Copies of this chain bind each other. A is one copy, B any other.
Amino acid sequence: MKKTLAETRLYRAEQNEKILGAGLKEFNRFFALDTAAYRAGALPVQMKELMGLVGSMVLRCNDCIFYHLDRCVTEGCTRQEIMEAMNIALVIGGSIVIPHLRYAFEVLEQLSPSGARTPSEVDGPRGEQGTT
């Protein structure tokens, strides 16, 4: 990976700031809708982020994969949950997804040396993602 996690996050934050400050309010409204889509509702945040990961992988967008993996790990998704979601993306999207799976493993390794938490490390029950 060309950049560290911190560099990738910084680049995203800086560019987003430019977009949101560009003076076209529709950009701001789109970003707000994007954020809202992943808020806890009938579905917990963890499941929504995994859905975002699946969508990002089948559409083959590394920047989006990075973001959703980062969020999944933060929200306490386990390594096995992430791998099962990525397998769904692989089967739906085919071998063209494999380069993005390679990238995802690279990111996961950086996000969590052991590759995201093991199930026992996740304390709270599914749905209380605010506490994890």
- Of B43, B51, B95, the contact of A64 (CB 8 Å cutoff): B95
Copies of this chain, count: 6
Chain B residues contacting A91 (CB-CB under 8 Å) are: 26, 30, 33-34, 37, 94-95
- Of B50, B95, B109, the contact of A51 (CB 8 Å cutoff): B50
Nearest chain B CB to A14's CB is how many angstroms away? 9
Q: Is A131 an interface residue (CB 8 A)?
A: no
Contact A48 B84 (CB under 8 A): yes
- Among A12, A61, A91, A95, max chain B CB count under 10 A is at A95
Chain B residues contacting A24 (CB-CB under 8 Å) are: 80, 83-84, 87
Interface of A is mostly: helix
Contact A96 B59 (CB under 8 A): yes
Contact B61 A59 (CB under 8 A): no
Chain B residues contacting A111 (CB-CB under 8 Å) are: none
Contact A92 B50 (CB under 8 A): no
**What is the CA–CA distance of A88 and B85 in the complex, to the nearest angstrom?**
15
